[in-house]
Amino acid sequence: PNGQMHLVRTFALKIAGQTPNLKTVLLTDISDARLESVQERYTPMARQAGVRFVTLNPNHPEYEKKLDEIAPDGFNFLVALCPVPPVIEAAIRRLNQYGVVNLFAGFKRGEGILNMGDIHYDQITISGNSGSRIDDMYSVLKKVQDGYLNTDSSVYAVVGLEGAKEGVLQVRDGKAFNKILIYSQCRNLPLTPVSELADQLPFPDDVREEVRKGHWSSRAEEVLLASRWGNGS
C-alpha cells in the first residue's frame, strides 16, 4: 500500500506540472498478482500523466535484462520500501550520477553494505523517512480535499469491526493488494473487496462503475453507511 501511495503522488506531481522531465516509473514486487492489480489500477493515471509505467518481478529470469532495456543509463530516484539490505544494495547500483535513494519504510536497526565510492564519485544522496508529524498529516489531508491527490484507488477492501482481525491478517500475509478500511459503525460487514460491492449496494450508476473498477470514494462510502450494514435501513 505504501508503494501505491508513492505512485499516486508521483503521477500527481507530473499531472500538476511539477516534474515535467519525468518519463518512466518502474515498480517492482515479487508477487505477479500484486503487480497485475497495480497495473490495472494505475495505468489510466500514468497515461493521464504522460508517463511510461512499467512493473517487473525481480524473481523473473530476465529481470536484469529488462532493467537494462528500460533504463540503460540508470534511474534518478529510488524509493525503497523493501527492508532487505541485499535488495537495496542491488537497487543502488542502478542509480545514475546525482541519483537519490529514499529509504522509506520497514527498516530495522542493523547493518548493510554501502559503497562509499559511489556516494563520493557519483554524488549519490541517501535519505530516509521515519513517521510523520501531525502537521504532515494535515498537509496531506488538505491535498486530498483540494483534489491534488486522488486516493480513490487506495482501498482494496472494506470490513466491519468484527472482521478487523481478519483484515489485519490479510495485510500481514500479503493477501490484500491495497489498504483495508475498517468501519466500526457497520455491524456484521464481512471483509469484502471493493469491486465485489458494486452489485450489493444501490450505488448511483456512475459510482457503481467506479466501484466495479475497485475505486472507493466518499460517495461510495455514503451509500455503504446508509445500507443495512450502516444504520440498518
The model's pLDDT over 210-225, given as tens digits with 9 standing for 90+, comes to: 999 889 999 999 999 9
Mark residue 94 as left, alpha or beta (left: phi above 0; alpha: psi -120 to 50; beta: remaining): alpha
Query: Which pLDDT value is given to residue 232?
Result: 53
User: pLDDT (tens digit, 9 = 90+) per residue, 6-15?
Assistant: 888 899 999 9
Non-local (6+) Cβ contacts of 25 within 8 A are 7, 10, 11, 46, 51, 52, 53, 54
Given a cut of 90, is residue 48 above it in pLDDT? yes
Cell for 91? 537497487
3-state DSSP assignment of residue 125: strand
Mean per-residue pLDDT for 169-176? 85
Query: Which pLDDT value is given to residue 40?
Result: 87
What CA–CA distance (Å, rounded) separates 208 from 214? 10
DSSP for 41-98, please give it. Answer: HHHHHHHHHT-EEEEE-TTSTTHHHHHHHH-TT-EEEEEE----HHHHHHHHTTEEEE
Non-local (6+) Cβ contacts of 117 within 8 A are none
- pTM value is 0.75
Query: Which pLDDT value is given to residue 216?
Result: 93
For each of the domains in the chain, give its residue range(s) and CATH number, in order of start: 2-145 (3.40.50.720), 155-225 (no CATH)
Given a cut of 60, is residue 162 above it in pLDDT? yes
Given a cut of 80, is residue 229 above it in pLDDT? yes
CA angle at 166 for the pair 152 and 169, rounded to the nearest 5°? 90
More confident residue, 84 or 165: 165
What CA–CA distance (Å, rounded) separates 27 from 5? 12
Query: Which pLDDT value is given to residue 187?
Result: 86
